[in-house]
Amino acid sequence: MSAPQITNRQLIKLLKTYWQWRWLWCATTLLFGGLGFAYVTTVKEDTWTASQGLIIRDEAHGAVMRLGRFSSQTEMKAAQETVLEMARNPQVLHSALATVGRGEPGFFDFDPPTGPPTQAEVEALADGGIEVRAPRGAELGTTEVIYLDITDSDPERARRLNTAVCDELEKHMQEVRKVRADGVIAELETAAVSARESLKESTEKLKSIEAASGADLADLRGLTETVGSGSANRATLDAIETDLRTVDSERFKATEQLKLVSNAFKDPTKLQAAPAQLLAGNPGLQKLGEGLSIASIKARELEGRYTDQHPIVKAAQNTELMIRKQLQDELRVAVANLEQSVTLAEQRIQQLEKEKAQLERRLESVATVRADYSNIAAEVRARSEQVQLADRELAGAIASRDAAMTSSLMTRLDQPLVGEHPEGPGKTAIIAAACGAGLFFGAGLVFLLSPIEAGGGGFGRRASDAGIGRRASDQIRVAGQPGFERRGDGFNRRASDLGGNLAGPPDAGGRQPADVAAASPVTPDAPEMPDTTDAIAARTDSTVTSISAQVDRAHQIEQTTQVKRVAQERKPTQPAANPLSAAAQFPPANAPVPAASPLPRPAANPAPAAKPMGTPKVATSTDSAVQSTAWQTAPTRPRGELSFADHANTIQSVPKSTDRPEHGGEKAATNRSEKSTESKQRPAGPIDIGSLPETASGIPSTS
């Protein structure tokens, strides 16, 4: 089923309902508008904001290349947040309020307030009257520029209060800087004194070690310093070792030459094998050796030519003997010289060995104290650096303290700026909003106090559906619609229901006896018994089976309607009287309504009661003709819409009380089994409506 659509009739009824209650929503609109007007004229105060731009810088006693600039964004954010907290400091705000003066008198005050600002005024200004923000909604720390906003009901007072807060903020920050610098100075002075005392102790230790070193101090410092001339004793020791090796080599040469000269003294011919260095040192030996060789050769030649007694031979032999004698004399001198050289070399070696031993002892003594001396010297250097650093920081802190009272870390940008219009919504907007709220409030009250229904049957229902699921005695009112008017004691109810106990007390199930009689006739001789769980279950089972049968019959009726409509279009026939015509089913609107009295309990009808529920009736030719005539005379409707008569034909009677489990048991179970089997095996096709049995209300029953 498609969703219900709002029609013009419903809209008109809705507008009429609201028009009938116009005094209510007009009154609420005027009431809320009056409250809004009273608020804007008596309570509401305009809010003005004075904004002052500030530039925050760092202290300028640091590095020269970044004087006044923050080294990182974190430091800038910390400085700006410090300004934010300082701006909300109660002392700063109290001094600013005292300078500007207290505000205008309140609504219930006649004289302006006098005296110092109260704690409540200071807290109100700190909570909602002052704000430190970054430009264009940025986060603090992204730019060096920040804005100080002061909110007040008077624009001129907001400007003056902004200036006073900035002045007090600068003074307070200068005092804070001074106090912080004094604390730093005291700390640095203590650190400098401690560093000097430690340096003094280390210096005394170093002095005692250096005094004990004496002549080896230079060597001691040379061993400890990274860059220096080195140890003099070590250099001397190296030179002595070099000389010692040289003298030892000379002594060895002299000894070897002495041996050679001694052998040549016995055999001069061995002099020819003498090294050149020996001959170079004794040129006479070289010449005598050469002369001896020449004289010997000449004498041998003469002896070969002449006899031994020949004067020439004797002269040659005499010359050779004389040269040999001279050579021996020269060799004696050379031996003496070489012996002297060996003696001197040995003495030199002894002297060098003595000096070497002395230098080694001195170097050992220096090495013994070198570690302690190195540690103390490093300690002295570190203490000296600490003292220098403390002095340098102390000088910077003193400079910062001196500059704290003469300079400010905040730079103002022009004068405080006040907007042309107050903050927040205006008076007209507030009154308009109050009137709108009153209008909606009144509309809501109308909706709560006057529920709206269209047509008496509720929104979204068709007129042809009005009889579905209703009692038989109510269907007369549904057909003509006059019974659906609104009554003061209920909506859409029968006169028998509105009469209280006129119809008798309700039964155990909460229903009127008339309703029970109209829904299910009871056999007179069947005893009345209260409903039990088994009875309710039996009726529920019967109702489910009946609803299933009604759905099947509705589909069959729709198929029969389509067949008859096609037959009517192909072969028109003469209209005949229809026992189920609309005139018979729906009385006119001005027809009298039956009296509101309890329906009498009808007598038992043996014929329909004897027939089992759900037993199909074979249609006769007469019934078929009547049914055909009825469908031919019925008005043509769109597919899917059924008339009240169509719906009435699908109503299922409630089983009799004698069929309940508590009144027979086996019969009720048999009837339910037969109804279930018949509902499944019911054939499709045209159904004889006229042959159906009638209920107590006079409507054919599908059972």
pLDDT tens readout for residues 73-84: 888 888 888 888
- The rounded distance, in Å, linking the Cα atoms of 132 and 86 is 10
Confidence class for position 30, pLDDT limits 50, 70, 90 = very high
Percent helix, strand, coil in the chain (nearest 5)? 65, 5, 30
CB atoms within 10 A of CB 32: 21
- The rounded distance, in Å, linking the Cα atoms of 643 and 464 is 5
CATH class of 33-189+412-428: alpha beta
DSSP β-bridge partners for residue 147? 53, 133
pLDDT digits 0-9 by tens, 107-152:
555 556 677 888 888 888 888 888 888 888 778 878 888 888 888 8
Average pLDDT, rounded, for the chain: 69
- The rounded distance, in Å, linking the Cα atoms of 48 and 158 is 7
pLDDT above 80 for 340: yes
Structure tokens at 77: 């954010």
Question: Residue 54: what are its φ and ψ, rounded to 5°?
Answer: -130, 145
Q: Where are the domains of the chain?
A: 33-189+412-428, 232-404, 499-681
- The rounded distance, in Å, linking the Cα atoms of 538 and 26 is 58
pLDDT at 433: 92
In angstroms, how far is CA 626 from the centroid of its own chain? 81
Residues 518/472, Cβ–Cβ less than 8 Å: yes
Contacts of 4 (CB under 8 A, 6+ apart): 459, 460, 461
Q: How far is CA 46 from CA 125, 424, 425, 444, in A?
A: 16, 8, 9, 33
Q: Which helix (H) or strand (E) holds 151?
A: strand 145-152
- The rounded distance, in Å, linking the Cα atoms of 242 and 264 is 34
pLDDT above 70 for 5: no
- Out of 254-263, 340-349, 515-524, least confident range: 515-524
How much is the average pLDDT of 573-600? Answer: 44
pLDDT at 244: 86
Q: How far is CA 403 from CA 262, 406, 439, in A?
A: 99, 5, 66
- The rounded distance, in Å, linking the Cα atoms of 209 and 366 is 11
Q: Which amino acid is at 555?
A: H
Assign 3-class secondary structure to 291-318.
Answer: HHHHHHHHHHHHHHHCCCCCHHHHHHHH
pTM of the model: 0.40
- The rounded distance, in Å, linking the Cα atoms of 79 and 69 is 11
Would you list the DSSP string of 21-69? THHHHHHHHHHHHHHHHHIIIII---BEEEEEEEEE---SSS-GGGTT-
pLDDT above 60 for 100: yes
